[in-house]
Chains A and B, each alone.
Chain A
Amino acid sequence: MKLLVYEWNGFGYPDLKETLRRMGHRVERIGYVVRDKCQDSYFEEKLAERLKQGFDALLSYNFYPSAAQCCQEAGIPYISWIYDGEDFGLYCPATGFDTSYIFCCDSAMAEWLKGRGAAHAAYMPLGVNEKRLAGIRPTAAERGRFRAEVCFIGSLYQNKRSADEYQLPPYYRGYFEGMLRAQLQICSDRFLDELLNEELAKLLLSNLTIDPRYETTERELALSLLLTSATKRERFVLLTALSERFPTTVYTFSDTKNISGLENRGVIDYNTDMPKAFLCSKINLNITHRMIKTGIPLRVMDVLGAGGFLISNYQRDMEGEFRDGENIVLYCSEEELLEKTAFYLEHDGERARIAANGREYVRSRHALSRHLFEMLGMACGSDAAETGKSPV
């Protein structure tokens, strides 16, 4: 097939393109960072022009309504693979186009989209470029450089807009704090949705203007702010607790000076260095962004695919995929996280066994090629998904 990849500045595009090529498809790219997620006329014009060259499908990570519009007009499938917990493009009506095929790494998000009329929304876990990862071998110097006891790679979201910034009347300030504190106790499920009432939602949004082009509600936007607050709070609390007990390293552009025991090594390259950091850390940590309600985040696949040992919060979509203590280690509370971190730091053999199982499972069951084959089959027809063939 002849495929066009819309590339913005997100992770994963080199692997995506390389894998598609390895599958035998002809892959071209169009690179652009949209200014307005809902509609970007300049981008639409350029993309429409490009699509006239004859492609079987357009692919992107996350959903871009402008891209969906162009594909709808051109009559070709637009395959978007959602890997962020929050994608405002999904609030646009373009999700309902016949040509929009939206694959979500979060089954709850897929159900939500279907409920909104996105006929081609489906759950699809994320994948790894198993070929590239198999070739990652840190040198002795790199093993020294990336060595860590406990390692977390990710943002602490201090600069992201969240509900913490807003002035609330005393009752709702207390209610807000109570909600977050309660949610922090339970790492395996999300119930903030049920606790958010209409009054609090209105208060949280009182300083914002909702763009009418996005078909969303006050409640959904307020929830988004709330979930970012919860993630900020959770990552701060857990990393603080860990750093008080264990040597803990983070790779992040976030300011971590408020967590005194943490070693911050700054940003890290996703493709070249991050897998090595995973391999050279005794324990890698995943704390899922609360916007991802049930799904398995990309970080989990990144760590396991690289061969790293991972402790992660439980997410419902892990059922049937991962087994606690076999190919991953899961925690449901802060206490459990601390206990398991202490245990696995002292049990090298167990870590090695679980990491090896995780690596084998992710590289086979969640190889990018496997998922891409399935997505192309659903969007373009099963015959078309095979190497070198075009859809009828």
Chain B
Amino acid sequence: MRSGKILLYQTGAQPEAVCAAALSAAGCTVVKFYCPLAAAEDRERYFPVLRQLLREQRADMVFAFAYEPALSEACQLEGVLYAAYCINAPEMAVIADNLANDCNLLLSPDTRQTQQLLAAGAANAAYLPLAPVLTAPAQQRAEGGPDFEEISRMGDGEKGQFPKYSAISFVGSRHTDNIYSRFSGLPDQLRGYLDAATSAQTQVYGCSLFDAMIDDTLLDGLRQLLPIAQAGQDAARYRYLLTSCILPTQATMLERTRSIGYLKQEFGTRFVWYSREPADAGQDGCRGPISYDAKLAAHYAAPYIHLNMTNRCRSAGVPQNCWDILECGGFLLSNYQADFAGLLEAGRDFVQYGSGRELRDMAEYYQKHPDEALEIAAHGCRTVRENHSWTARAAELLEVL
């Protein structure tokens, strides 16, 4: 599909506007629409309206940054292609009833999740990495990019900034109030086993331990003890929710709590942490939320060591913040994710760690070698701007279609 008419279902996802602009620039006619479909009564009310819209618009495709089962159903009935870009982590599309509708094209920014979608019955699924949404502050853009020369000249305490790359920043929440933490009624032995599993996962990158550790017998026991509404009676759905959503979120909480505690202890006031989770406020120096706009872009452009600790629900993919940090000229220190390979070069565009010890060693190293950090940040920024824009992704998407 080289061009055509795309009905964009608005979900408020961060990449929506910039992706729509890229599709328009590629020659597509993009018509945005929205109708509430989350609640059962909304679906009942708006489903006929939706079908009417599809008939009237005669679009080539409906596109959304989410999988909405009702959208799929409407498209299936009206014979319209539905491209759903499943960017959430965890992603509930995997347990959708009508995933196998042949109007569906599921896109995922995570190669492992793409395989999960296919295994769950999706007729068509394809991998499509994310791309930056935030852009460097306007001044930097006007001048052709982050002023790396300026950054390299920043000295001690100048303009109230930390010396370049002497501070480390993390933007994200700990997920302390997660489903696992609210599990009650588990026998002690089972609780101990699952606690060990989630702790172990924090030590391992690049693969999930949970599937192999939750055998069918254990799964059946858990289904009796802790029913999950979204799974219903379906064991495969329960397994997915437990091993790809609930337990990974707990592992994320453990890992971030441990790392944040260490960073606060080692870096003190030079640890800069933003989180929108109320439970994080005031903990370990958390500064509260930061809005996803120019303010965050300016923060990412600052010469900090910008840390990414991927939510474990995203098992392989490169998360959004990595793209944003690099586009804004930030120096990225990220945990290992399999999908970095082929997109970005570790050691040249960014640096990655594969253990807690490596995180500590690298943070210490780049504090002491700010010029190297600057060089890597500059290279990463160039790589992303040259190869990984939404213009490029739009072209890839149209190619897939």
Contacts and interface: CB of A to CB of B under 8 A. Distances in A.
Interface in A209-234: none
A178 B193 contact: yes
B189 A170 contact: yes
Given A182-B213, A185-B209, A185-B213, A169 B188 contact: yes
A284 B119 CA distance: 36
Nearest to A180: B196
A145 to B, nearest CB: 39
Interface stretch (B37-45, B134-142, B198-206, B283-291): B198-206
| Consensus secondary structure, chain B interface | helix
Nearest to B190: A174
Contacts of B200: 178-179, 182-183, 191, 195
Given A181-B213, A182-B213, A185-B213, A191 B192 contact: no
A276 B51 CA distance: 76
Contacts of A178: 192-197, 200, 213
Contacts of A183: 200
A181 B209 CA distance: 9
A174 B196 contact: yes
A108 to B, nearest CB: 11
A174 B197 CA distance: 10
Contacts of A172: 192
A88 to B, nearest CB: 26
For chain A, the bracket of interface size reads 20 to 34
A179 B188 CA distance: 15
A171 interface: yes
Chain A CB within 10 A, most for which of B196, B199, B209: B196
B254 to A, nearest CB: 11
Nearest to B208: A185
Contacts of B190: 174
Interface string A156-191: 000000000000011111111111011101100101
A174 B193 contact: yes
B187 A170 contact: yes
A383 to B, nearest CB: 38
B121 interface: no
Given A182-B200, A182-B209, A185-B209, A177 B193 contact: yes
A177 B196 contact: yes
Contacts of A186: 204, 207, 209
B341 interface: no
B356 interface: yes
A175 B204 contact: no
A191 B255 CA distance: 14
| Consensus secondary structure, chain A interface | helix
A226 to B, nearest CB: 12
A174 B213 contact: no
A174 B212 contact: no
Contact of A185 (B187, B195, B212): B212
Contact of B356 (A171, A189, A194, A195): A194
Given A170-B188, A182-B213, A185-B209, A175 B203 contact: no
B369 interface: no
Given A178-B195, A178-B196, A182-B197, A191 B213 contact: no
Contacts of A176: 192, 196
A176 B188 CA distance: 12
B142 to A, nearest CB: 47
B191 interface: yes
A179 B356 CA distance: 18
Contacts of B203: 191, 194-195
A195 B203 CA distance: 9
B173 to A, nearest CB: 23
A172 B193 CA distance: 8
Contacts of B207: 185-186
Interface of B: 187-197, 199-201, 203-204, 207, 209, 212-213, 356
Top 5 A-B residue pairs of the complex, sorted by shortest distance between their CB atoms = A178-B196, A174-B192, A182-B200, A174-B189, A175-B192
Interface of A: 169-179, 181-183, 185-186, 189, 191, 194-195
25 contacts: A170-B188, A174-B192, A174-B194, A175-B196, A177-B193, A177-B196, A178-B195, A178-B196, A178-B200, A178-B213, A181-B193, A181-B196, A182-B197, A183-B200, A185-B207, A185-B212, A185-B213, A186-B207, A186-B209, A191-B200, A191-B203, A194-B199, A194-B356, A195-B200, A195-B203
Given A177-B196, A185-B204, 12 more contacts: A170-B189, A172-B192, A174-B194, A174-B195, A174-B196, A175-B192, A177-B189, A181-B196, A181-B197, A181-B212, A185-B209, A194-B203
